[in-house]
């Protein structure tokens, strides 16, 4: 039985508590979703937030067999419209298809990852096992629902009948921490940026006796923060998990057991239960598991395609493995970076900047730790640094400190005109 079908097993348990303090049992959440989606047919684009209505609609669409595309309510209206025009409606789709997620929705890319019902359940089951999740857990939402990591938190806790504290409050709002205390929150999930904020808010000094588990994914956590949280967790009887995953594998692919976290600094850990990893001859990390997606969709016709991956995912990450079987990412094979927990295509960001500033001499590089560097050989563009930083903030919600504008007299290129990124 899929987790989204477990109405009767947990019907009288509290499934979630929303920002207004309203409690919904599993039965009430199911019934609300059925009512809200009674007229839905075909592929549905769902604007979602961390609220009971969004969760109820999502679960009901899965039950109805309507493939659902999750997008954030804060996504630009133009991008929302494009998703609907491209995908929404009744037309042939593969019957195994249940969920479609964007790998880089923050840049408006309409390429989607096609996830089957079995993909979702397989990853859910693995996460429940290695995190040891029980129905006594009370996680609070710290990540967007449309983000694969945030969604996996919901899936894994619904699977066991736990109670989820749904909130759209941010870490910087007192109401968020009031909820953590009032509802005796037991776990929190975060990307590297979240942990930077935890430090600013002095989380490790707060009196939160019920907080027992912290998880981290969505990019490389600094060695300093991994050491601090691994040590703090060990000293206070808590558990700290560093994890690795991609939307293309539903969510999680590997994790570091808490007892190894302080020892394996910088590692992405070992494969999740049911998964396995190997390093190809060229150094690329390859993952195998039932959670590997069916493939991509770039147009509505692609939704009729079957499983083209066959349980094998070429991650695009270069890696090494130590003598105990722990994996370490050493670089990226393609031009993507993860910052603030979101994946960005440097090529696409570059194209948008070139169009916005009517200049071809804008080249983007970057990494997960330092962010994005905008290189330009145009003095006029370089002098508009404030506008560039504002564009990153307005369009992608990327903070200014993660963007550097650099003027060069000439963009390095080879004899055929291709940019020499290695020199940048």
Can you list the domains of the chain with their CATH numbers? Answer: 3-332 (3.40.50.12780), 336-407 (3.30.70)
Q: What's residue 307's pLDDT?
A: 98
Yes or no: say if 269 and 297 are a contact pair by the CB < 8 Å rule.
Answer: no
The mean pLDDT of the chain is 93
**Please, which residues have CB within 8 angstroms of residue 31's CB and are 6 or more apart in sequence?**
none
pLDDT of residue 318: 84
Helix H or strand E encompassing 318: strand 312-321
Specify the pLDDT at position 415. Answer: 45
What is the strand order of the sheet 270-271 is part of?
Answer: 187-190, 213-216, 239-245, 252-256, 270-271
**Which backbone phi and psi does 339 adopt, to 5 degrees?**
-135, 145
How far apart CA 44 and CA 52 sit, in angstroms, is: 18
Q: Bridge-partner residues for 241, per DSSP?
A: 215
Q: What is the pLDDT of residue 105?
A: 41
Percent of the chain with pLDDT over 90: 79
Q: Are 107 and 396 in contact (CB under 8 A)?
A: yes
Global confidence as pTM:
0.83
Question: Which residues of the chain carry a pLDDT beneath 70?
Answer: 104-109, 414-418
Residues 248-290 have pLDDT tens digits of 999 999 999 999 999 999 999 999 999 999 999 988 999 999 9
What pLDDT is attached to residue 106? 41
């Amino acid at each position: 039985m899929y987790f989204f079908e477990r109405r009767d097993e947990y019907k009288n348990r509290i499934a979630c508590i929303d920002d207004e303090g309203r409690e919904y049992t599993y039965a009430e959440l199911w019934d609300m979703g059925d009512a809200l989606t009674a007229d839905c047919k075909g592929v549905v684009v769902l604007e979602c937030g961390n609220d009971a209505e969004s969760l109820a609609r999502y679960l009901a669409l899965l039950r109805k067999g309507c493939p659902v595309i999750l997008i954030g309510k804060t996504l630009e209206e133009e991008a929302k419209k494009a998703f609907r025009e491209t995908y929404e409606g009744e037309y042939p789709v593969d019957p195994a298809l249940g969920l479609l997620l964007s790998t880089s929705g923050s840049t408006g890319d309409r390429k989607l990852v096609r996830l089957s019902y079995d993909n979702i359940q397989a990853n859910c089951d693995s996460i429940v096992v290695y995190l040891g999740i029980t129905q006594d857990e009370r996680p609070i939402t710290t990540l967007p629902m449309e983000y694969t990591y945030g969604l996996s938190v919901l899936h894994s806790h619904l699977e066991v009948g736990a109670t989820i504290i749904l909130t759209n409050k941010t870490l910087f709002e007192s109401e968020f921490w009031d909820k953590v205390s009032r509802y005796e929150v037991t776990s929190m999930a975060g990307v590297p940026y979240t942990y930077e904020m935890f430090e600013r808010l002095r989380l490790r000094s707060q009196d939160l006796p019920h907080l027992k588990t912290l998880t981290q994914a969505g990019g490389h956590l600094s060695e300093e923060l991994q050491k601090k949280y691994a040590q703090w967790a060990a000293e206070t009887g808590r558990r700290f998990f560093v994890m690795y995953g991609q939307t293309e594998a539903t969510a999680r692919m590997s994790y570091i057991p808490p007892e190894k976290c302080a020892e394996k600094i910088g590692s992405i850990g070992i494969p999740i239960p049911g998964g396995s990893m190997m390093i190809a001859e060229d150094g690329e990390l390859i993952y195998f598991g039932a959670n590997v997606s069916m493939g991509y969709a770039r147009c509505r016709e692609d939704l009729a395609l079957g499983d083209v991956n066959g349980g094998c995912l070429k991650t695009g990450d270069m890696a090494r493995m130590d003598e105990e079987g722990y994996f370490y990412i050493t670089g990226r094979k393609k031009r993507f970076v993860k910052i603030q927990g979101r994946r960005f295509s440097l090529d696409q960001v570059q194209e948008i900047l070139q169009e916005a500033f009517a200049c071809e001499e804008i080249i983007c590089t970057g990494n997960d730790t330092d962010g994005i560097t905008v290189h330009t050989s145009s003095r006029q563009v370089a002098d508009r640094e404030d506008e560039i930083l504002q564009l990153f903030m307005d369009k992608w919600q990327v903070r200014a400190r993660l963007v550097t504008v650099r003027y060069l007299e000439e963009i390095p290129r080879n004899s055929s005109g291709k940019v020499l990124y290695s020199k940048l």
